[in-house]
Structure 1
């Protein structure tokens, strides 16, 4: 899963501001964006190369990659599916643990490994009654 461009993020964004006031926005961005590798350029003096999701949020739209958390705690309103801590040295996608040397396998791993991260949809689902 790669970070969308600004145009892609804007096209998928939901209408409406993600935060009700600047305090909520600053608290959330301090807990998330200010620790994320994708927004590092903005913090180092190059805001044009910062995270496109933040730019979309500044236009009073909620990025689709920000999933709403249940309950309310200041600074914890959303979970950004693109978040990656700055000290994460790995690639964009997780890699499987290698097989121990000399271990025999019954079947190949490749067809059963998922190609990327899998996220759970946390939106409420209405259940039908039978």
Structure 2
């Protein structure tokens, strides 16, 4: 699944700003865009190679690739279908559990395996507790 161009993202975007104010937008982007491989060029000052979905959002439209998850959340309001963490090993992971050696499968796996991946951050996070 490749990232759309700005023109494609703008053509399919919904009218209306995705965030009610700059604080809400910055909180969401901090949790998503600022860790995503698709916006990594922007963090290296390569502005012309950044994520086109952010530009669509900054111009007052809601990208179609941002699915609303929690309308009242700051950090988790939308879920971007193109999000991939910079620490994500890539499309080779996760791999299916192999059949045990010397044992045949009951049916072929290929028709039932998912062709794509979900780009959710599933890694465990460290949490500090302040008493």
Deviations 1:81-111 (A, max 9, x none): 1111100012288543443443311222112
CA distance in structure 1 between the partners assigned to 2:18 and 2:102 by the alignment? 52
Given the superposition, is the C-alpha separation of residues 97 and 42 from structure 1 closer, same or farther in structure 2, using an over 3 Å criterion? farther
CA distance in structure 2 between the partners assigned to 1:115 and 1:24 by the alignment? 34
Q: CA deviation at 1:69?
A: 2.0
The corresponding residue for 1:106 is 106
CA distance in structure 1 between the partners assigned to 2:60 and 2:71 by the alignment? 22
Contact 2:81 2:118 in 1 (8 A): no
After TM superposition, the structure 1 stretch with the greater mean CA deviation from structure 2, 63-72 or 98-107, is 98-107
The corresponding residue for 1:47 is 47
The corresponding residue for 2:126 is none
The corresponding residue for 1:67 is 67
TM-score, structure 2 normalization: 0.79
Given the superposition, is the C-alpha separation of residues 93 and 48 from structure 1 closer, same or farther in structure 2, using an over 3 Å criterion? farther
After TM superposition, the structure 1 stretch with the greater mean CA deviation from structure 2, 87-96 or 15-24, is 87-96
**Is 1:23 equivalent to 2:23 in the alignment?**
yes
The corresponding residue for 2:8 is 8
Equivalent residue pairs, number: 119
After TM superposition, the structure 1 stretch with the greater mean CA deviation from structure 2, 62-71 or 94-103, is 94-103
Contact 1:66 1:80 in 2 (8 A): yes
Gaps of 5+ in 1: 120-130
CA distance in structure 2 between the partners assigned to 1:102 and 1:46 by the alignment? 52
Contact 1:94 1:116 in 2 (8 A): no
**Is 1:79 equivalent to 2:79 in the alignment?**
yes
TM-score, structure 1 normalization: 0.79
